[in-house]
């Protein structure tokens, strides 16, 4: 389980993962070594899955964002489907969902033409019978995981 100190460390790391262990330790009342040990254990337990940076998609030519509901006539939670979706470079996220659709994918591309090409690739995945696309006009915000 994750205790209150771990939650504080996670929140601080989500705000800025480049903070030193000394700074993190001071913020939660631990030594730098103890903070380092806690973070290491959070990584070992896969509570922290990865450390990365947040890149502005538009600044790197990926300004078109869309959510695509994917319909299928087969179960899409198997490894071949996951591999096929992972091979499509425009897909940023893929989620098996309950409801009218089988999958929900988040797509980022440079242009609407590239979005259309990505949709063709999705439609070519075995078992996919249709898609419904919602193009994002503007993102209000995106939140990190709430670790309260």
pLDDT in tens, 30-73: 999 999 999 999 999 999 999 988 899 999 999 999 999 999 99
Percent of the chain predicted with pLDDT > 90: 91
Q: Contact 145/14 with Cβ under 8 angstroms?
A: yes
Q: Contact 88/118 with Cβ under 8 angstroms?
A: yes
Count the alpha carbons within 13 Å of 69 in the hemisphere toward its beta carbon.
7
Select from 3.40.50.10420, 3.30.70.920, 3.30.230.70, 3.40.50.10890 the CATH code of 57-136.
Answer: 3.30.70.920
Does pLDDT of 145 surpass 90? Answer: no
Question: What confidence tier does 128 reach under pLDDT thresholds 50, 70, 90?
Answer: very high
So what's the pLDDT on residue 126? 94
So what's the pLDDT on residue 107? 98
**Ranges of each domain in the chain:** 4-44, 57-136
So what's the pLDDT on residue 147? 87
CA distance 102 to 96: 6
In this predicted model, what pLDDT tens digit does every residue of 65-80 receive, in sequence order?
999 999 999 999 999 9
The domain defined by 4-44 folds into Arc Repressor Mutant, subunit A (1.10.10)
So what's the pLDDT on residue 66? 98
So what's the pLDDT on residue 143? 86
């Amino acid at each position: 389980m994750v205790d209150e100190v771990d939650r504080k460390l996670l929140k601080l790391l989500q705000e800025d993962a480049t903070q030193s262990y000394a700074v993190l330790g001071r913020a939660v009342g631990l030594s730098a070594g103890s903070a380092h040990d806690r973070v290491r254990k959070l990584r070992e337990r896969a509570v922290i899955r990865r450390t990365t940076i947040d890149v502005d998609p538009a600044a790197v030519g990926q300004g078109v964002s869309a959510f695509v509901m994917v319909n299928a006539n087969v179960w899409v939670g198997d490894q071949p489907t996951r591999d096929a979706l992972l091979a499509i470079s425009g897909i940023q996220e893929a989620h098996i969902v309950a409801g009218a659709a089988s999958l929900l994918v988040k797509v980022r591309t440079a242009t609407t033409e590239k979005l259309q090409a990505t949709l063709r690739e999705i439609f070519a995945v075995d078992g996919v019978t249709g898609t419904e696309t919602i193009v994002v006009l503007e993102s209000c915000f995106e939140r990190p995981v709430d670790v309260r």
